[in-house]
Amino acid sequence: MIIYDTMAFLDRQLTIFKQDDALVFVSLAIDGVKEFHLFYPNEQVMRATLIEIIDFQRYVTGRASDFSQVKINYLKGTPFQRDVWTAMHEMQPNEILTYGELAIRANHPTAIRAVASAVGKNPLTIINACHRILPKSGGVGQYRYGSEMKQKLRQLDQAMMVSKLTEKSDIITL
C-alpha cells in the first residue's frame, strides 16, 4: 500500500507518496493522486499524515531543507532513467546543470536527448532537482508543471540558500 499526504504549495498543491519508508513520487498537479495513477495505474493509495511534508513546508517558505537526506525509492524506471534520476538527486543544493552536463554525470555523455526525456519522467520532482536542469541554449526550458513553476522553484532554491547562509552566520556570531 502506498500512502500519500498533500499540502498547499505556492499556487498549487503538492502531494507526496510513500511506500514503506521511502518517498516514491512527488506531484505538483492539482490532483496529485490522478497524476500518480497516470504513472502507476495499478497501485492502491491511501491518505495519511507523512512526516516528510515538513521538509516541503520549510522549502516553500524559503527555509533550509535537505532533500538529500530524504529516503527515496523508484517504483519503476529503466536502468538508464535511474542513472539520470540518481545524478539529479546527487546535485549540490542550488547547483544548475545543462542537459549535456547531466548526461555526463549520469555516465551517458552522448545521450543528451534521452537524458532530457528521463528528466521529464522524473517521479520525484523537487527532491531530484529537475527544475535546475536547463537547456544549453539558455532560458528556463520545459517542465512538466510549466516554465513559470520551474522558475518559482529556482527562486525558492535561492531563498533557501540565503536562509542557510543566515543560519550559518547566526551560529558564527554566537
Q: Which residues are part of the catalytic machinery? A: 130
Cell of residue 82, nine digits: 535511474
| DSSP three-state, residue 161 | helix
Cβ-based neighbours of 61, under 8 Å, separated by 6 or more: none
DSSP-derived letter for residue 156 is H
Q: Exposed e or buried b for every residue in 63-90, given b needs 16+ CB within 10 A?
A: bbbebeebebebeeeeebbebbbebbbe
